[in-house]
Amino acid sequence: MTTPFDLTGKVAIVTGANTGIGQGIALSLAAAGADVAVVSRSPADETVAKIRSMGRKAEIISADLSSIEPIDRVIAETLDKLGRLDILVNNAGIIRRNDSVDFTEEDWDAVIDTNLKSLFFMCQAAGRHMIANYAQGGGSGKIINIASMLTFQGGIRVPSYTASKSGVGGITKLLANEWGAKGVNVNAIAPGYVATNNTAALQADEARNKSILDRIPAGRWGRAEDMGGAAVFLASSAADYVHGHILAVDGGWLAR
């Protein structure tokens, strides 16, 4: 018996899927039935092995998304190796920390280029394929961007990250407006404080770690796999009438 959350026969691209949130989402999509193109600049053999152990297809596509140069190749390789493209999860991202009075142009550009510029052009490349596929009678496409609590809040000492994730929220809504009637759902997940490499410095800072935990109603840091259910929902037919939404998966952080 199939459910609205069944992704059997679908193909997903997940960027930054070698570890952390990207890996958690890739594994959840595979568990729901999808085949996955695992896009990463670092080795992603573990992710691929776990997906294949579920009986799903998985292919590694090596790409450094600090520039837009590899984007067309990522789409082409996915279509060549896995035969179709139904789902894009834009998870690849970086963070740089410093006081705003000392923040460098290099750190600004590096974060904006990866987190916002490459994300938009990945959406564009996938969207072109999905819109054309839908117009020819194919199924709808699903794009899921990874936003942040800093899509809604300012944060401290991460000016380029805050700017990039605020931009992700805006781009998600803009593309939903443009593509909603063209067979493409564009939404975002805003993870709360998740224990990953990007948050290692916060976890190691005793005072900041305590202040974060004190505010989370769930009483713990999030885990990568906590994002998986939200991704499966937004990638599935259960979300066919969900457009331009930023789904917070935050342990209640924004409710406090």
- Report the distance separating Cα 182 and Cα 139, nearest Å: 11
Is residue 200 packed enough to be buried (19+ CB in 10 Å), middle (13-18) or exposed (0-12)? Answer: exposed
- Report the distance separating Cα 247 and Cα 230, nearest Å: 8
161 is catalytic: yes
- Report the distance separating Cα 196 and Cα 194, nearest Å: 6
What lies within 8 Å, CB to CB, of 142 at 6+ separation is 86, 87, 88, 184, 185, 187, 234, 235, 236, 239
**Which of 134, 161, 193, 241 does the annotation list as catalytic?**
161
- Report the distance separating Cα 180 and Cα 187, nearest Å: 10
Residue 221: φ, ψ to 5°: -70, 150
Write out the catalytic residue numbers. 161
